[in-house]
Amino acid sequence: MDFIKSAEITLKYLGLSEYEPVWRAMQEFTEQRDESTLDELWMVEHPPVFTQGQAGKSEHVLNPGEIPIIQVDRGGQVTYHGPGQIVIYPLIDLKRHKIGIKLLVNGIEEALIRTMSELGVTANRREKAPGVYTDNKKIASLGLRVRKGCTFHGLAFNIHMDLEPFLRINPCGFTGLEVTQLSEYNKSVKFSQVQEQLIKHLCEILNFTIRK
């Protein structure tokens, strides 16, 4: 995949962090960055939360119960975040690298597919339905926003989590869409191992080197 000229990127592990403060920090980072600001990848897990995209329709939130719903400024419909899910926010200056959002989305999807392949799981992408699927079930979601030519928000990859909250919504706005996770196909999978492999593939495909 022809992506960008080799560039450095900063990797930050945020651990288990509440959604809204991280979202606000992404907004602030994007607003304050300039053409010399190094790109960053933020890796995080969130406590249970539903997030609703800008064009999100309330009809896709069926029965949220005690889980909060946050209206956010990304694309797409409603999704769920919870512990046991890898979330990565790529804060990348598309304008500086002279690439479009579609190329970035394709690169992220390819990194997810390669990571799963290494762990013995076949996955694929779908036209007009960003994300990654296996056995016709969604295993990873994408939702990005571009501001000032720079991306924020990102991907969510289900590893070993409670999937019940996905039954309370129409995931990504698709009625009847089933959701799955990596541990259902590879029971020995380790969360930290998947994190490392996914970052490796993201950097290989996007042509980034982690700044030490």
Asked if the model's pLDDT at residue 183 lies above 80, the reply is yes
Name the pTM for this structure: 0.94
Torsional sign, CA 81, 112, 130, 93: positive
Helices (H), 33-186: 94-97, 101-118
Looking at residue 3, its pLDDT comes to 65
- Please compute the mean of the pLDDT values over residues 164-180 and round it to a whole number: 88
Q: What is the pLDDT of residue 62?
A: 87
Q: What pLDDT is recorded for position 55? A: 77
CATH topology classification for 7-210: BirA Bifunctional Protein; domain 2 (3.30.930)
pLDDT, mean of residues 126-139: 90
pLDDT of the residue at 113: 98
pLDDT of residue 195: 97
- Give the rounded distance of the alpha carbon of 136 from its chain centre: 19
Q: Tokens in use for 201? A: 């593939």
Q: Output the average pLDDT for the chain.
A: 93
150 is catalytic: no
pLDDT at 2: 55
pLDDT at 75: 80
Q: Which position among 140, 172, 194, 205 bears the catalytic label?
A: 172
Q: Where are the domains of the chain?
A: 7-210
